[in-house]
Amino acid sequence: MPVSKDVMIECIDVNKEYRRAGAIIRALVDINISIKSGDFVIVQGPTGCGKSTLLNVMSGLDLPDSGKIIFDGENIARSKEDRLAKIRRQKVGFVFQDFNLVNTLTAIENVEAMLWPTVLRSKEIENRAIAALRDVNMLERKDHFPVEMSGGEKQRVALARAIVGKPRVVFGDEVSGNLDPKSEKEVMELLKQINQDYETTMIIVTHRETVAKYGDNIIKMDKGRII
Ligand SMILES: Nc1ncnc2c1ncn2[C@@H]1O[C@H](COP(=O)(O)OP(=O)(O)OP(=O)(O)O)[C@@H](O)[C@H]1O
Ligand SMILES: [Mg+2]
């Protein structure tokens, strides 16, 4: 069955469980969702409900036990790691709770590093990194190291790094988990702006109600299920 062009990601009957010390944890139970290209989706629910697990299988970081994950028209639920790595590199950007910047690199070097290895000329890499830092209002801090930045500033650099490769989808896991309310607002508004300017599909998971309001489409989870 052909997938309609404007569907970015579809989960069909997705299940995943973890086995730990004899216990079975059903992290994802019969998940069915369809996300359109350009959507701004918030996945919200209490701690342990399966949000990160869902994000990981939708983004090709992990595989489900059963079901299909149709990513940009391709079922990736049984794909090999090299194929998943290629899809992630070409089509996906990630933003995590703890920024994951390289402390020995400046802001611009952190962003440029996403484009290595590449066929691009170094001037082109620099130009793209400058454009991405400008998009997150961090250009004037381009030569600063992470240790010289606040949490909100670090997350804005991490956001520049996520978008510099012009991904189809940005996945965020608790992007404001380490931020104060003002920085949370800045980061969420930047995600919204990027979503509108570049039609980048945004899929942001959070347990916070204050983040949920930024989504056009809110998916609520509880105990591994969509509710
Ligand atoms: N690698 C793992 N091994 C065993 N159990 C796991 C593993 N990863 C997650 N789990 C369990 O699966 C369930 C879902 O975890 P998940 O991390 O997806 O929840 P979450 O909604 O992201 O929670 P939080 O809001 O705390 O980040 C939890 O019960 C968790 O303990
Ligand atoms: Mg989580």
Instruction: Check if 192 has its Cβ closer than 6 Å to any atom of ligand 1.
Output: no
> Quick one: pLDDT at residue 135?
97
Give a yes or no: residue 194 inside a domain: yes
Give a yes or no: residue 133 inside a domain: yes
Give a yes or no: residue 10 inside a domain: no
Nearest-CA residue for ligand 1 atom 5 is 18
Give the domain CATH number at 139. 3.40.50.300
CA 23/CA 20 separation, integer angstroms: 5
Number of DSSP helices (H) and strands (E) in the chain, helices first: 7, 10
Instruction: Check if 27 has its Cβ closer than 6 Å to any atom of ligand 1.
Output: yes
Q: Say if residue 1's pLDDT is above 80.
A: no
Ordered alpha helix ranges (H), the chain: 51-58, 81-91, 107-112, 122-135, 151-163, 181-198, 209-212
> Quick one: pLDDT at residue 3?
47
Please, which residues bridge with residue 93 across strands? 170
Instruction: Check if 207 has its Cβ closer than 6 Å to any atom of ligand 1.
Output: yes
Q: Which residues surround ligand 2, an ion (CB under 5 A)?
A: 52
φ/ψ region of 43 (left if φ > 0, alpha if ψ in -120 to 50, else beta) reads beta
Contact present, 9 and 169 (Cβ < 8 Å): yes
Instruction: Check if 127 has its Cβ closer than 6 Å to any atom of ligand 1.
Output: no
Q: What is the pLDDT of residues 52-70, one digit of tens each?
A: 999 999 999 999 999 999 9
Longest dimension (CA), the chain: 55
Q: What is the pLDDT of residues 97-144, one digit of tens each?
A: 999 999 999 999 999 999 987 778 889 999 999 999 999 999 999 999
Q: Give the number of domains in the chain.
A: 1
Owning domain of residue 171: 37-63+80-226
Give a yes or no: residue 165 inside a domain: yes
Ligand 1 atom closest to Cα of residue 56: 18
Q: Say if residue 159's pLDDT is above 50.
A: yes
Give a yes or no: residue 4 inside a domain: no
Give a yes or no: residue 206 inside a domain: yes
Give a yes or no: residue 172 inside a domain: yes
Instruction: Report how far ligand 2's centroid is from the alpha carbon of 188 (Å).
Output: 18
Instruction: Check if 19 has its Cβ closer than 6 Å to any atom of ligand 1.
Output: no
Alpha carbon distances (Å) from 159 to 30, 85, 118, 166, 189: 31, 20, 20, 12, 12
pTM comes to: 0.94
